[in-house]
Amino acid sequence: MLRTKDILDEKDKRLRMVSEEVVFPLTKQDRAQIKKMVAYLRDSQIEDRAEKYDLRPGMGMAAIQLGIPKRYITIVNEVDYEEETGKHTFETFIVVNPKIISTSEEMIYVEAGEGCLSVNREVEGIVPRYARCTIEGYDMDGNKIRIRAREEVSIAFQHEIDHLNGILFVDKIDKKNPFKNQEKYRAI
């Protein structure tokens, strides 16, 4: 089981590496790692599990955040919660060798501020992101997939693909003017 302490901190130079393309078939280790990444993200969004295992809530993770310089990412987004039954429903994305192939013109940003499992501090400022994007890549078995992402999920894909290129969200915030051009983008 992954823990928050297993995730590299922004000070770790490995986060600045450009990750390598994955060659299929995936190794047993990569398959096991992807399952752990998905389990961490799912559990981190369920309050009692996050507390029990001391997990920092997250929606996405790139392999490089675990020190693995390979191009695969996972995104887990809670889409429903039934209070009566306590049942959580998630949409889960696993993309190997992801590429953004198209984007919207509209730009958005996370009003509460973007966060990252590798950045263990409060960061003020906005990170302009595309409101919609289309991603191509492969599933775990090497089948080509295409995903059209919107809003929060679009932001998550852009954020995680940045990780694969050695970029952290803090790099995209203007240091001198953290809220620069805020009026040009839509807050979500």
* Domain spans of the chain, in order of start: 4-187
User: Which is catalytic among the residues 105, 152, 160, 183?
Assistant: 160
Give the CATH class of 4-187.
alpha beta
Report angle CA 122, 123, 127 to the nearest 5 degrees: 140
Residue 19's pLDDT is what?
98
Active site residue 160: yes
Between CA 162 and CA 64 the distance in angstroms is: 11
- Could you give the C-alpha distances from 71 to 18, 24, 43, 94, 120, in angstroms and in order? 9, 12, 23, 11, 23
Report angle CA 44, 47, 50 to the nearest 5 degrees: 40
Which structure tokens are listed for 109? 């940003």
Residue 22's pLDDT is what?
98
For residue range 104-162, list pLDDT tens digits in order. 999 999 999 999 999 999 999 999 999 999 999 999 999 999 999 999 999 999 999 99
